[in-house]
Amino acid sequence: MTRRTRGAPVRERAFHERLARTLPAGRRGLLPLGDDATALRPPPGRVAVVSTDTLVEGTHFLATSPPERVGAAATGVSLSDVAAKGATPDAILLALVLPVGTESAWAESVVRGAERFGARFGAHVVGGDTKPGPVRAVVSTVLGWGRAAHLAPRTGARPGDVLVTTGTVGRGGLAAARLAAGGAPGRKAVVDLLDVRPRVREGIVLAPLSHALIDTSDGIAEAARLLARASAVRLVVDEEKLPLARGIGSVAPTAARRRAVAFYGGDYELLAAVPRGRVVRAERAVRAAGGRLTRVGRVERGRGAWLRTRRGRVVMPAPGWQPFGPERSFDRG
């Protein structure tokens, strides 16, 4: 879709009726798409795992961002949360806030982007809502099915556990740094920030082997802090072992800047506390699921999240993404 062609403005009922005809999910649920609600049959022995997340124009995407990417990213952030509980995603609901006059094609591309992205992980758009408002926003709710015994709550980390992470550290921070630098790479960075890669398959195999599992959407440092706090333990991450995203060195020549980029957030990896005896099994399982797992630290008695730097000092890591400004509670670990 190009922004030059100004298409027909969105109309709620016409929009919903067109989606009901075109989305494959219309033939999946227990209710036709467009009914008051969505109905889903739980697989035997499973529990519902639900999460909701929001992308707002101006904060998370621009009016010029490709709408399919916006839909995919909105779905990706919720998929990441459901993945962090080891659940198999099933259904996506999308609540769209749209200024009156928004082209129908824009909204349809958002939904199509969500549907295509979700389908890669077995989830489909089954419902939603469209409301007028002064700014575009996309709220995704993802429902998946997990196992009560394998939810790996963030309260579950125990001293002796090994800390492992999927993928790399700093992809989100790298995109943000490039965006801040402006220019042509800046424009690419807007799209890079929407390139959310939820670790759904990794979560499904990691959760049953982990004491605690959390996603790193606000940065690995923040994830470690939340895990330490919820589990009342001390987490030590070895900076040396962090699988840094390729290219961080080019935008962050000093150790301090590199750390700021690495801990910025927007990574959507999984950080797990795995009992020592299961680490090898976890590594094999994640590899078999197409991912990679890196040992980055350990859980100890004590409090707070700490970073052992390349020079061997143990310091408090920089805070991750703080959307409403600096949090006073941060330093209390």
Considering only residues 94 to 153 of the shown chain, the ones binding its own copies according to CB under 8 A are 94-95, 97-98, 100, 127-135, 137, 139, 141, 143-144, 146, 148, 151, 153
Does residue 256 contact residue 323 with C-beta atoms inside 8 Å? no
Dihedral (Cα; 116, 64, 198, 247), 10-degree rounding: 130
**Position 323, amino acid:** P
Examine residue 12 and tell whether it contacts its own copies (CB under 8 A).
Answer: yes
Q: Given candidates 26, 28, 40, 241, which one binds its own copies under the rule CB under 8 A? A: 40
Site string for its own copies, 13-32 (x = CB under 8 A): xx--x------------xxx
Binding residues for its own copies, how many (CB under 8 A)? 79
Place of tokens 């840094």: 244
State the nearest-atom distance from the C-beta of 172 to its own copies, in Å.
Answer: 16
Residues in 52-81 at the binding interface with its own copies, rule: CB under 8 A: 52-60, 80-81
Q: Give the C-alpha separation, 158 to 153, whole Å.
A: 12
State the nearest-atom distance from the C-beta of 239 to its own copies, in Å.
Answer: 23
Residues in 184-223 at the binding interface with its own copies, rule: CB under 8 A: 213-215
* Residue among 9 and 304 whose Cβ is closer to its own copies: 9
Q: Tell me the window of 90-98, 189-197, 276-284, 294-302 that interacts with its own copies (CB under 8 A).
A: 90-98
State the nearest-atom distance from the C-beta of 85 to its own copies, in Å.
Answer: 5
State the nearest-atom distance from the C-beta of 265 to its own copies, in Å.
Answer: 12
* Angle of the 255-262 helix axis to the 171-181 helix axis, nearest 10: 110
Tokens of 128: 């939603």
**Enclosing H/E stretch for 295:** strand 293-300
State the nearest-atom distance from the C-beta of 125 to its own copies, in Å.
Answer: 12
Examine residue 327 and tell whether it contacts its own copies (CB under 8 A).
Answer: yes
Q: 153, 171, 148: which is closest to 272 by C-alpha?
A: 153
* Residue among 193 and 244 whose Cβ is closer to its own copies: 193
Place of tokens 């952030």: 77
Does residue 289 contact residue 193 with C-beta atoms inside 8 Å? no
Q: Given candidates 26, 28, 50, 304, which one binds its own copies under the rule CB under 8 A? A: 50
Q: Give the C-alpha separation, 153 to 84, whole Å.
A: 9
Q: Give the C-alpha separation, 230 to 232, whole Å.
A: 6
Does residue 133 contact residue 97 with C-beta atoms inside 8 Å? yes
State the nearest-atom distance from the C-beta of 253 to its own copies, in Å.
Answer: 31
State the nearest-atom distance from the C-beta of 177 to its own copies, in Å.
Answer: 20
